[in-house]
Structure 1
Amino acid sequence: MKRLILLFIATFLMFALSACKEEEPQPEERFAAYTKLWNSQKFDEMYDYLSTDAKKGISKKDFIDRYEKIYDGIEIENLKITYKKPKEIKEDSKRKNASLPYDASMETIAGPVNFSQKAKFVKEERDKAVNWYIDWNPKHIFPELKEGEKVSVDSYPAVRGEIVDRNERGLALNGSVYEAGIVPEKMTGNEQNSISQTAKLLNMSEEEIQKQLDQTWVQPGSFVPLKKFSMEQTALLEQLIKVPGVMVNETEDRIYPYKEATAHLIGYIGPISAEELEKRKGEGYSANDVIGKRGLEQVFEERLKGEGGASIYIKAENGQEKVIATKPAEEGETIYLTIDAELQKTILAQYKGAKGTAAAIHPVTGETLALVSSPSFDPNKFVLGISQSERTALEKNPDKPLLNRFTSLYSPGSTIKPLVAAAALENGVDPNKAMNIKGLQWQKSKSWGNYRITRVHDYGKPVNMKDALVYSDNIYFAQKALELGQEKFTAGLKKFGFEEKMIYEYPMSAAKIGDISTEIKLADSGYGQGQLQATSLHMAAAYTAFVNNGSIIAPTLELDKEQQTWKPNTISANSNAAVMAGLKEIVTNPKGTAHSAADLGIPIAGKTGTAELKQKQGETGTENGWFVAFNTENPRLLIALMQENVPKGGSKHAVDKVEAIMTNYFRIKH
């Protein structure tokens, strides 16, 4: 019995010793756990794996701070420390040291960094337990890093790409500007007077200037920048340099040579906001960067911004630099537009500050030649430093110069009639069949109550389609809309792109048909009132059908883009010929609403329109005047122009503007 008990004890001890042996920690297992923490950047827990000697060389706080500062400074991403633990670990209780290889890879501000290294482990007993601890040193961060050395980063900002027109005239350029500032010690004895004069000249408040001077970094000899201004402002330069303490330097910044003419189209840049920085996290932006705030500067931001460069290096004790990674800055793309900057300037000048919008395109290629919104503003002020008073004045201006009108929707008025005519023709209407309309007012039935469609003139004879286009007869087109009915009317306008977002580089609002659920609403829509709405660009694009044998060309904004058809075969050749006959006679016929354009001496076709804006019939509302026109002999310019709140004369004001624009564009001499 005693022998059995002894045998049992011996067996138990053997299994116990075997179990203890199996559970003895191995360096491979410890390193696998360590690299897992490393990949998760749990530096506080990593420190617990350090050997006693390693801990003597660096405190836990310094260990954590060093990793965090370096990793944050080089903007580390996708950190991957790879150590493959062997499938079978050869147990050796006599081992006191171990050296295990690992690979490190990461993305940094200066590009990818990869290296291979070995980690040394030592076996130590702590709290009566034996385990393996890493003999850490700075080479684990980077192999080139030695004790006492620091990792540094130099950033190289990207050069923003420029935007130019079809003739390579600059629309958004990187150019020279002046920067005014104050050197405090140079205005000694004249402080108040200098600040007061500078504030008036730079359109700043004295408080704003004092706030800049009170910054903690400012020393007596420091140049404290206040505001940038254009190189054209030579008079301002001369006044500023006479003020004690004021210095003016030449520096680089974004400039917009065409100022108000291209402000809504090109937009401007500005310092990136905290919200934008968060939204674009991981895209290479820093708090000191600029970003497109509106217009094409914003639309083409990714292509314009370029990519900043950087260099990560270690400065050795002997002064030499050990480069870990470097990436040169990449210049942003130059964007070549189809825009004709001089035409853009000419169109805006015609408004003389009046409210309106115009789109000019090449009706055969679809190239956008101009996109104008009036009134406008000078985008240079937003880049160089617009004062709060100037910003407030723009924001509170009742004419809304900051509103981009070429992306806004407007009632097209009678410019919709050629499209309604096309829809009627495609549904079998005989263009030569005359409609016997009497008087200036009409209603379908007494069910309309007091509501009537009105027209400007009664010509005392039946009206066919061409006559209706020439005279711009509301009653004719109201009746045609009712004959078509809701379904065919909608289908007809959809063939011209209504209710469809245009594929275009600049975000545009889709043209809308609106509510045509009642006879009155449908009838009103037939002559361009109702709830129909479109942009000036959409109306210009729609009219390309009449130039291109019934197909609508897709507008483009970038030069050398392949020409595309947006709406092929919108109308048949016969329908197109019938509408074109009317569009030509609108100009050539003395009774045509655009007959004054015949004075140009070139063959013009087009359609005028007056959209009346009022709450209900019987009221006197405001009017928007339209003219969509093109040269039939030399179809390289089609313009859709609208002026808001036109004085008496309606569309005549739009016709006059288009005449002046075409005179300039085609270099017509009278």
Structure 2
Amino acid sequence: IFPDLESDDKISVTTSKAERGEILDRDGKMLAGKGVATSVGIIPGKLEDRNVSIEKIAELLEIDVETINNKLTAKWVKEDSFVPIETIPKVEEIDLMKIQPEEKTLEEQDCQNKLLEIPGVMLSDVEVRTYELGEAAAHLIGYVQSVTAEDLENHPGEGYSAESVIGRSGVEKLYEKQLKGKDGCDIKILDSDGEVKEVLASIFKEDGMDIRLTIDSDLQKSLYEQFKEDPGCSVAMNPYTGEVLALVSTPSYDNNEFIRGLSSEKWTSLNEDEKKPLYNRFRQVWCPGSTFKPVVAGIGLKTGSIDPKEDFGNEGLAWQKDSSWGSYQVTTLHEYEPVIMKNAIIYSDNIYFAKAALKIGSENFMNTLNEIGFNQDMPFEIAMQESTYSNTDKIETEIQLADSGYGQGQILVNPLHLASIYTSFLNEGNMIKPYLKYKEEASGETWIENAFSKENVEEIMQGVEGVVNDPEGTGYAAHRDDILLAGKTGTAELKATKEDTSGKEIGWFSVFTADKSVDKPILLISMVENVKGIGGSGYVVKKDATVLDEYFEE
């Protein structure tokens, strides 16, 4: 087959590993890429008082003694071998030289010093995939892991080997094909001196592509820091271009731990944690509460069911349509006059919007929600759960319709979908399509044309601007003198029954720059799963106000 191949020649097969592409933010900052960690290893022949030393190492690394012993008794291990036991974060000198080093950094340094005091322990640098934002973007960026036999079976002929890694979640999984690259390979004939006689076959290595996202790292971190203790999520986008600036789910986990090797104890604790740090909340649907009222206002105007100047009358703080509702009443928190649409949005009046929903009627209500993206997949790179208005295929009762008017009932909305609906208020009624992969020339692509009319959104804007700028508005704590903001707060009650007083309260704040000439336009929606007893939606407003301070000051 190969005429030049002689009896004392050898065939050499060499592979060159493709570099996995980096994941970058909008400014080119690395979100995932090459980094350095510290490999903790043992040279068995240098261990003194073996059992005591191994117990000490296991305690410092928070792993089992059995795990260490299994690695030390592997067939390849000799007395002078370096046996890698665990990969831990590298402590950088620059981090230790800070005026106030982080407590975590000092703990890691202390651990490494104690490990080095044990004879036979060595530390060495090792190249690993690193996630710069760690917990702040773990649900978005995801992580890679070594391929399994099942992966090799599921991806035949795609260039994976037993040494490969594969994206397991997030952007790492979403763009696996582009990020992974293709390994190179050379098959050569070597003579008896090891010199190359002939190259029989050669495949050039192709490094993986870099993937640049629309994400703003500083905003992503800022949102995570504000909400890291709260079960909830935040989404932020440029309301004119559709660029998604942040996708945050809290509480979170450190995706770097999946790269360094996650102990079974750590995996169990993550899965059993009642705050569900592995659960990706920004992909789910939630009861929107009063953040839904501007949407209902838009439906009322679009269907011609509501005159924005009509005074619905002051009903006090509780109302029902008639005695057919039995003991059920719609309640609200504030009395005001006149009871018109603008004021109803500012004062977040449940009674006004319950009446509005009844005027609209269930058919108009459902049809218009379907027109603005309900019960359908969002056109976005990451699959989001569909927004719905009923647990069945329709709104079943008059009370359910009334409750839906103020974002309760069985209304469930994905936060990014809600943000997309809100973009229509700034784009003459057109809903902008969100996207995650960076484009050099960012320009808004319409997802749903004429979701509302230009005249409709002008009416709605009067109300949502008042929410943040009127001292009586529920979002006034986010008011700024330098930049005109608009928005809507929301508190959704989750009850097992109508009489239930122990249910959760979901807190929301949707806020956006209302002036098109602003340098850094943003539309931000944050949700916290339980705000009962900590200030309701006001808790979310204050945290988002802090985030916006940092965003505009950069």
Give TM-score scaled by structure 2 length: 0.91
Match of residue 544, structure 2, among 633, 645, 658:
658
Q: Does the aligned pair in 2 maintain the 1:409–1:511 contact within 8 Å?
A: yes
Work out the CA distance in 2 between the residues paired with 1:195 and 1:622.
48
Partner of 1:70: none
Match of residue 185, structure 1, among 23, 42, 45:
45
Query: By how many angstroms is 1:365 displaced?
Result: 1.1
Work out the CA distance in 2 between the residues paired with 1:302 and 1:449.
59
Of the structure 1 ranges 328-337 and 396-405, higher mean CA displacement relative to structure 2 is found in 328-337
2:87 matches 1:224:
no
Match of residue 24, structure 2, among 155, 158, 164:
164
Supply the AA of the counterpart residue of 1:389: E
* Matched position secondary structure for 2:473: coil
* Matched position secondary structure for 2:152: helix
Supply the AA of the counterpart residue of 1:343: L
Query: By how many angstroms is 1:609 displaced?
Result: 0.6
Supply the AA of the counterpart residue of 1:554: K
Supply the AA of the counterpart residue of 1:249: S
Work out the CA distance in 2 between the residues paired with 1:342 and 1:625.
24
Larger Rg: 1
Query: By how many angstroms is 1:600 displaced?
Result: 5.5
Q: Does the aligned pair in 2 maintain the 1:600–1:659 contact within 8 Å?
A: no
Summarize the alignment of residues 68-217 of structure 1 with structure 2, pairs less than 5 Å apart.
Answer: 139=1, 142-147=2-7, 151-187=11-47, 189-217=48-76
Partner of 2:94: none
Partner of 1:445: 322
Q: Does the aligned pair in 1 maintain the 2:358–2:401 contact within 8 Å?
A: yes
Q: Does the aligned pair in 2 maintain the 1:303–1:333 contact within 8 Å?
A: yes
Summarize the alignment of residues 532-547 of structure 1 with structure 2, pairs less than 5 Å apart.
Answer: 532-547=411-426
Q: Does the aligned pair in 2 maintain the 1:415–1:627 contact within 8 Å?
A: yes
Partner of 1:629: 511
Q: Does the aligned pair in 2 maintain the 1:420–1:492 contact within 8 Å?
A: no
* Matched position secondary structure for 1:666: helix
Work out the CA distance in 2 between the residues paired with 1:374 and 1:436.
42
Partner of 1:435: 312
Partner of 1:381: 257
Partner of 1:619: 500
CA-to-partner distance for each residue in 1:535-580, whole Å, 9 max, x for gaps?
A: 2211111111111111111111111165311112211111110000
2:137 matches 1:262:
yes
Partner of 1:456: 333
2:532 matches 1:647:
yes
Q: Does the aligned pair in 2 maintain the 1:528–1:611 contact within 8 Å?
A: yes
2:490 matches 1:609:
yes
Work out the CA distance in 2 between the residues paired with 1:440 and 1:262.
43
Work out the CA distance in 1 between the residues paired with 2:434 and 2:487.
19
Work out the CA distance in 1 between the residues paired with 2:495 and 2:321.
22
CA-to-partner distance for each residue in 1:303-337, whole Å, 9 max, x for gaps?
A: 11111111122333343333211123211111111
Q: Does the aligned pair in 2 maintain the 1:190–1:244 contact within 8 Å?
A: no
Partner of 1:113: none
Supply the AA of the counterpart residue of 1:623: E
Query: By how many angstroms is 1:601 displaced?
Result: 4.7
Indicate the percent of aligned positions where both proteins have the same amino acid: 43
Structure 1 gaps of 5+ residues are: 1-138
Q: Does the aligned pair in 2 maintain the 1:363–1:638 contact within 8 Å?
A: yes
Partner of 1:394: 270
Work out the CA distance in 2 between the residues paired with 1:164 and 1:425.
42
Query: By how many angstroms is 1:211 displaced?
Result: 0.3
Query: By how many angstroms is 1:404 displaced?
Result: 0.7
Q: Does the aligned pair in 2 maintain the 1:419–1:493 contact within 8 Å?
A: no
Work out the CA distance in 2 between the residues paired with 1:306 and 1:581.
52
CA-to-partner distance for each residue in 1:420-463, whole Å, 9 max, x for gaps?
A: 1011101122100110241322222322222222212233x451
Q: Does the aligned pair in 1 maintain the 2:287–2:412 contact within 8 Å?
A: yes
Partner of 2:190: 315
Partner of 1:586: 467
Work out the CA distance in 2 between the residues paired with 1:230 and 1:421.
52
Partner of 1:556: 435
Work out the CA distance in 2 between the residues paired with 1:468 and 1:143.
89
Work out the CA distance in 1 between the residues paired with 2:31 and 2:481.
31
Partner of 1:337: 213
Partner of 1:272: 147
* Matched position secondary structure for 1:546: coil
Work out the CA distance in 2 between the residues paired with 1:323 and 1:202.
48
Summarize the alignment of residues 291-310 of structure 1 with structure 2, pairs less than 5 Å apart.
Answer: 291-310=166-185
Query: By how many angstroms is 1:599 displaced?
Result: 4.9
Work out the CA distance in 2 between the residues paired with 1:236 and 1:543.
49
Partner of 2:358: 482
Q: Does the aligned pair in 2 maintain the 1:419–1:496 contact within 8 Å?
A: no
Supply the AA of the counterpart residue of 1:667: E
Work out the CA distance in 2 between the residues paired with 1:239 and 1:395.
30
2:410 matches 1:531:
yes
Structure 2 gaps of 5+ residues are: 92-107
Q: Does the aligned pair in 1 maintain the 2:10–2:192 contact within 8 Å?
A: no
Work out the CA distance in 2 between the residues paired with 1:310 and 1:582.
65
Q: Does the aligned pair in 2 maintain the 1:340–1:369 contact within 8 Å?
A: yes
Work out the CA distance in 2 between the residues paired with 1:234 and 1:380.
18
Query: By how many angstroms is 1:522 displaced?
Result: 1.4
Of the structure 1 ranges 449-458 and 534-543, higher mean CA displacement relative to structure 2 is found in 449-458
Work out the CA distance in 2 between the residues paired with 1:242 and 1:600.
58
Partner of 1:568: 449
Q: Which of structure 1's runs of 4+ aligned residues deviate more than 6 A?
A: none
Supply the AA of the counterpart residue of 2:512: F
Query: By how many angstroms is 1:291 displaced?
Result: 0.8
Work out the CA distance in 1 between the residues paired with 2:127 and 2:494.
47
Give TM-score scaled by structure 1 length: 0.76
Partner of 2:164: 289
Partner of 1:12: none
* Matched position secondary structure for 2:313: coil
* Matched position secondary structure for 1:373: strand
Query: By how many angstroms is 1:238 displaced?
Result: 2.6
Match of residue 410, structure 1, among 268, 271, 286:
286
Aligned-residue CA RMSD (Å): 1.7
Of the structure 1 ranges 471-480 and 606-615, higher mean CA displacement relative to structure 2 is found in 471-480
Supply the AA of the counterpart residue of 2:38: Y
* Matched position secondary structure for 2:277: coil
* Matched position secondary structure for 1:219: coil
2:241 matches 1:365:
yes
Supply the AA of the counterpart residue of 2:51: Q
Work out the CA distance in 2 between the residues paired with 1:531 and 1:152.
66
Query: By how many angstroms is 1:147 displaced?
Result: 4.8
Q: Does the aligned pair in 1 maintain the 2:311–2:340 contact within 8 Å?
A: yes
Query: By how many angstroms is 1:638 displaced?
Result: 0.8
Q: Does the aligned pair in 1 maintain the 2:8–2:191 contact within 8 Å?
A: no
CA-to-partner distance for each residue in 1:31-83, whole Å, 9 max, x for gaps?
A: xxxxxxxxxxxxxxxxxxxxxxxxxxxxxxxxxxxxxxxxxxxxxxxxxxxxx
* Matched position secondary structure for 1:547: coil
* Matched position secondary structure for 1:360: strand
* Matched position secondary structure for 1:403: coil
Work out the CA distance in 2 between the residues paired with 1:284 and 1:508.
30
2:375 matches 1:499:
yes
Work out the CA distance in 2 between the residues paired with 1:367 and 1:283.
32
Aligned pair in 2 of structure 1 residues 614, 226: CA closer, same or farther (>3 Å)?
Answer: same
